[in-house]
């Protein structure tokens, strides 16, 4: 049972021409421990709008280095009941019912830690990451923070001034790279245009390599951003346990463990075509070996590249593809020892003769 | 048959706070290797040594051979270079994209997180191998002051917990933005115990004497030194004329108003020489009780060799007393006499080796230690504490 208390709204800031709102809340002394929060957590609130009681949860965006009181920043969503009410109706000195902060997407800054914290944000996903950045910069003097932040254009950067202020306060330990989706140009140019994809991340990490080697990656954005960025980070050798994320506005799970489908495999090897059946989840190589085909193979772990083949039809999912370069992958090269069918028919031709 | 008794002229004899055996015996050497040199954060190399994805370096650090490899996330990983199959020290990064570590003996292959991912002919040779329990053993790695540091324990506390407290006594050098001058890299062996080499480095008394003609550009009278935990720090101003010439010569690696030489000896055997126009390491590696390896690498301001040479000349040209030999003419034992070399490193090596030789003399007796040698006694006490020796 969630317990709500009415907290006094001390201030309301309309941001970006009213497309987002920061709400400052006063926690009375006797509730301080109940509303203690960790950067990255969100605050459940309850409202009654037009007779309907609704519950929402918004990330806490307070600047730890300024010792801000509790603050949430809410982006206006088209047709959204609560976000529009907050944007249009909520005023200072009213009250807002809030429950104690929650969430496990936290950065847990501590003085003795020495880390490199990468933050990847898109749109309003900045709010918990801003609190995290501010907290690490204040509380971990040996750590650095690098933020890559995707927005539509320079005019839609939420908390823009506060981010600039944080850079000015910690110029040697905090850097920001903006990525703008729009081709609209302004007098400043972003770090990159388009989406935060693998090549943008590669360039970002190359420009801001980890000095402290205990690196962690915090992702917060809408839709499929988290999954796309997590996939790109995995391709850059980042281990899963160092990637932390929170989804905004729903979206797919971070890790996609493909199960595959049963398929008819047609493999050309030394001018002979072998047709075999593969069970769902079986690798192409395993299916060929089970049928008695002496297919090329080496490490059977995606490392050596001995089994490299070219996909001629259908689709596969590869668990590992260390032996393949990005150019190989674009050219349709696959590693049968790692490939499981994701279409009912798969055709391939072995490179080895 | 019983063991031979220890030579009587060695037993019970002291060099200040440590027994003479600490400088001569295999037993002390073995204990130091374990409790000092394999038991804390250690210098591994410069950050530049492993700075490209897929690049790797392995190095013996105390009892451990450690491999450091960089992933495409530009993050370093450190592992014990011991294949989990037969323990072979063959781990290297391989593959077209260098995303794996492999032992070429039987091709066991690990990913960059150390997970065992491939055992060739696994089902035929083993039936089944529990790969999840046979990952490479991780070590800790970090970058500090432009240097790669490693610790054999994967869950070691941060490097800054070990070295952070002494940082405020180190030079104001921006090491990350200096450039290695590889022509000044030297490594050499000294026929002496590693502690003799450290003690020489931190002996303030000898600077005005052994190096009377070679390090007279510094004002030893006004040296400040002390300890933070096991780390020794030392700072001395430049001699007045030399300071003036140095300011006008340029190519400084230090802000003009903080002109000084910082010469710390961090623990263990991790010396730095952070000076006015260069920044160098002095890495001490014990090879045996009586043999020690020293490696010096130098960084300078990012400028051409011609500019550096011109600045070096203009720093020293105006001085009345330029570097010279301690002994000249008939006092020199010959043209190869280190005392006539005019090179302070040659003078130090000579002093260390002659000190080591005397330790096995039946007539060796240590005299009193001077005020300027107080760091020597402090270092002996730290060694004693780390190995668990009590007088």
Between A212 and B130, name the one with better pLDDT: A212
How far apart are alpha carbons B234 and B179 in whole angstroms? 24
Q: Which member of B97, B111, B142 has the closest CB to residue A325?
A: B97
Q: Which of B112, B161, B164 sits opposite A237 (nearest CB)?
A: B112
DSSP B147-187: EEEEESSTTPPPHHHHHGGGGGGS----GGGSEE-GGG-EE
Chain A residue nearest residue B68, CA to CA: A213
Beta strands A263-269 and A345-350 are: parallel
Using the Cβ of B385 and the Cβ atoms of chain A, whether some distance falls under 8 Å is answered with no
> B200-229: string of b/e by CB count within 10 Å (b at 16+)?
bbbbbbbbeebbebbbbbbbbeebebebbe
Q: At what angle do helices A198-207 and A225-235 cross, to 10 degrees?
A: 60
Query: Mean pLDDT for each 10-residue chunk of chain A (353 residues)?
Result: 91 94 96 95 93 92 94 93 94 95 93 96 95 97 97 92 97 96 74 90 95 96 84 88 78 64 92 92 91 85 83 86 76 90 94 76
Cβ-based burial of B55 (10 A; exposed 0-12, middle 13-18, buried ≥19): middle
Using alpha carbons only, how large is chain B's radius of gyration in Å?
24
Residue to test with chain A: of B46, B74, B123, B138, most A Cβ within 10 A: B74
Residues 6+ apart with CB under 8 A from B333: B327, B339, B340
CB B164 within 8 A of CB B315: no
d(CA A96, CA A99) in angstroms, rounded, equals 10
pLDDT confidence of residue A185:
63
Query: At residue B319, does pLDDT exceed 70?
Result: no
Query: B167 CB near a chain A CB, below 8 Å?
Result: no
- B96 to A209: CB separation less than 8 angstroms, yes or no: no
R_g of chain A, CA atoms, integer Å: 25
pLDDT value, residue B322: 55
Q: Which of A101, A112, A48 is nearest to A71 (CA)?
A: A101
The token duo for B53 is 């994805």
Q: How far is CA B299 from the centre of its chain?
A: 15
Interface of A with B (CB under 8 A): 112-114, 142, 202, 205-206, 209-215, 233, 235-239, 298-305, 320, 322-325
Greatest alpha-carbon span in chain B: 80
What is the three-class DSSP state of B76?
strand
Minimum mean pLDDT range among B112-121, B162-171, B319-328:
B319-328
Average pLDDT, chain B: 89
- Is the pLDDT higher at A115 or at B330? A115
Q: No. of H helices and E strands in chain B?
A: 8, 22
Lowest-pLDDT choice from A66-75, B197-206, B317-326: B317-326
pLDDT of residue A186: 65
User: Which of B45, B293, B255, B96 minimizes the C-alpha distance to B171?
Assistant: B255
Band the pLDDT of B208: cuts 50, 70, 90. Answer: confident
Task: Report the distance separating Cα A67 and Cα A230, nearest Å.
Answer: 32
Angle of CA points B253, B254, B260, to nearest 5°: 120
Q: How far is CA B85 from CA A302, B102, B117, B123, B126, in A?
A: 20, 11, 13, 15, 12
SS3 content of chain B, % helix, strand, coil (to 5): 30, 25, 45
Residue of A112, A322, A330, A351 to mutate, testing the B interface (most B Cβ within 10 Å of its Cβ): A322
Q: Would you call B118 and A202 a contact, using CB atoms and an 8 Å cutoff?
A: no
pLDDT at B17: 95
Shortest alpha-carbon distance between residue A262 and chain B (Å): 24
End-to-end CA distance of chain B: 31
Does the structure show a pLDDT above 80 at B123? no
Ramachandran class of B202: left when φ > 0, alpha when ψ lies in -120 to 50, beta otherwise: alpha
Kindly tell me if the per-residue pLDDT of B289 is higher than 70.
yes
* Mean pLDDT of the region B349-369: 90
The Cα A191–Cα A124 span in angstroms is: 19
Chains A, B: CB contacts within 8 A come to 85
Max CA distance (Å), chain A: 80
- Of A97-111, B238-252, B311-325, the poorest mean pLDDT is in B311-325
Q: CA–CA separation, A118 vs A204, rounded Å?
A: 10
Q: What is the rounded (10 degree) CA torsion for B320, B302, B174, A175?
A: 160
User: Are the beta carbons of B53 and A303 separated by less than 8 Å?
Assistant: no
The answer to whether B51 and B70 are in contact (CB under 8 A) is yes
Question: Which among B289, B303, B117 is positioned nearest to B194, based on CA atoms?
Answer: B289
Residue B208 token pair:
């005005």
**Residue B180 phi, psi dihedral angles, 5° rounding:** -65, 135
> Residue A266: beta bridge partners?
A275, A347
List beta partners, residue B14.
B19
**pLDDT band at B210; cut points 50, 70, 90:** confident
Q: What ipTM was assigned to the predicted interfaces of this complex?
A: 0.83
User: Residue B95, Cα to own-chain centre: how many angstroms?
Assistant: 33
Cα–Cα dist B326/A39, whole Å? 64
Record the tokens describing residue B57, joined without a space. Answer: 């370096």
pLDDT per position as a tens digit, B7-48: 666 677 899 999 999 999 999 999 999 999 999 999 999 999
Peptide bond into B268 cis (omega under 30): yes
Closest by CA to A74, choosing from A113, A105, A43, A38, is: A43
Averaged pLDDT score across all residues of chain A: 90
Range list of β-strands (E), A87-236: 95-98, 115-122, 144-151, 174-180, 192-193, 214-222
Q: Which residues of B touch A205 (CB under 8 A)?
A: 73-74
Interface membership of B92 toward A (CB under 8 Å): no
Q: What is the mean pLDDT of residues B377-383?
A: 97
Predicted local distance difference test score (pLDDT) of residue B317: 67
Q: Which residue blocks in chain B are alpha helix, DSSP H? A: 26-35, 122-126, 159-163, 194-202, 240-249, 305-317, 344-358, 374-387
Residues of chain B with Cβ-Cβ distance to A209 below 8 Å are 74
């Amino acid at each position: 049972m969630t317990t709500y208390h009415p907290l006094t709204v001390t201030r309301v800031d309309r941001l970006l021409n009213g497309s987002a709102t920061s709400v400052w809340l006063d926690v009375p002394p006797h509730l301080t421990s109940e509303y203690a929060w960790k950067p990255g957590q969100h605050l459940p609130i309850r409202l009654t709008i037009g007779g309907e009681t609704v519950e929402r949860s918004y990330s806490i965006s307070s600047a730890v280095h300024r010792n801000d009181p509790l603050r949430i920043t809410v982006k206006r969503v088209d047709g959204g009941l609560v976000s529009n009410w907050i944007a249009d109706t909520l005023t200072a000195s009213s009250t807002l019912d809030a429950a104690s902060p929650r969430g496990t997407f936290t950065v847990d800054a501590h003085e003795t830690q020495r880390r490199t914290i990468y933050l990847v944000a898109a749109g309003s996903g900045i709010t918990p990451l801003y609190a995290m950045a501010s907290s690490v910069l204040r509380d971990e003097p040996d750590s650095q923070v690098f933020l890559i932040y995707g927005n539509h254009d320079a005019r839609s950067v939420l908390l823009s001034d506060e981010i600039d202020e944080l850079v000015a306060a910690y110029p040697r330990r905090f850097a920001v790279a903006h990525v703008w989706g729009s081709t609209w140009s302004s007098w400043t140019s972003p770090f990159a245009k388009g989406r935060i994809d693998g090549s943008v991340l590669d360039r970002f990490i190359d420009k801001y390599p980890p000095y402290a080697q205990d690196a962690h990656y915090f992702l917060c954005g809408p839709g499929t951003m988290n999954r796309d960025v997590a996939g790109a980070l995995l391709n850059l050798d980042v281990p899963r346990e160092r990637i932390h994320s929170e989804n905004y506005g729903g979206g797919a799970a971070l890790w996609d463990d493909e199960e595959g489908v049963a398929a008819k495999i047609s493999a050309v090897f030394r001018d002979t075509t072998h047709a075999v059946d593969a069970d769902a989840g079986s690798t192409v190589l395993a299916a060929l070996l089970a049928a008695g085909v002496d297919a090329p193979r080496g490490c059977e772990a995606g490392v050596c590249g001995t089994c490299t083949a070219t996909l001629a039809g259908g689709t596969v999912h590869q668990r590992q593809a260390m032996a393949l370069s990005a150019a190989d992958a674009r050219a349709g090269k696959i590693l049968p020892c790692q490939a499981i069918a994701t279409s009912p028919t798969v055709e391939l031709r072995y490179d080895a003769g | 048959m019983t063991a031979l008794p220890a030579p009587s002229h060695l037993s019970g004899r002291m060099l200040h706070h440590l027994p003479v055996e600490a400088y001569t015996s295999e037993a002390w050497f073995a204990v130091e290797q374990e409790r000092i040199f394999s038991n804390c954060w250690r210098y591994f190399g410069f950050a530049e040594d492993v700075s490209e994805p897929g690049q790797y370096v392995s190095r013996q650090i105390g009892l451990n051979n450690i491999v450091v490899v960089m992933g495409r996330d530009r993050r370093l990983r450190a592992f014990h270079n011991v294949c989990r199959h037969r323990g072979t020290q063959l781990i290297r990064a391989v593959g077209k994209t260098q995303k794996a570590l492999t032992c070429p003996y039987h091709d066991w292959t690990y990913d960059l997180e150390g997970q065992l991912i491939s055992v060739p002919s696994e089902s035929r040779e083993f039936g089944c191998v529990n790969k999840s329990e046979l990952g490479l053993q991780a070590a800790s790695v970090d970058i500090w002051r432009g240097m790669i540091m490693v610790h054999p324990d994967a869950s070691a506390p941060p490097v800054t917990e070990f070295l952070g407290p002494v940082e405020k006594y180190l030079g104001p050098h921006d090491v990350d933005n200096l450039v290695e001058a590889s022509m000044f890299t030297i490594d050499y062996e000294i026929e002496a115990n590693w502690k003799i080499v450290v003690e020489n480095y931190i002996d303030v008394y000898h600077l005005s004497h052994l190096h009377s003609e070679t390090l007279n550009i510094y004002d030893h009278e006004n040296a400040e030194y002390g300890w933070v935990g096991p780390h020794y720090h030392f700072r001395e101003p430049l001699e007045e004329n030399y300071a003036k010439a140095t300011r006008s010569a340029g190519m400084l690696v230090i802000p003009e108003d903080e002109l000084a030489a910082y010469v710390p000896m961090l623990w263990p055997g991790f010396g730095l020489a952070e000076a006015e126009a260069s920044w160098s390491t002095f890495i001490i590696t014990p090879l045996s009780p009586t043999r020690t390896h020293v490696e010096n690498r130098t960084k300078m301001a990012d400028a051409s060799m011609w500019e550096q040479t011109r600045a070096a000349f203009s720093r020293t040209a105006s001085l009345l007393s330029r570097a010279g030999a301690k002994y000249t003419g008939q006092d020199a034992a010959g043209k190869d006499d280190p005392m006539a070399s005019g090179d302070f490193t040659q003078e130090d090596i000579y002093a260390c080796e002659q000190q080591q030789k005397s330790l096995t003399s039946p007539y060796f007796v240590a005299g009193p230690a001077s005020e300027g040698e107080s760091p020597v006694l402090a270092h002996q006490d730290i060694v004693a504490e780390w190995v668990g020796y009590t007088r």
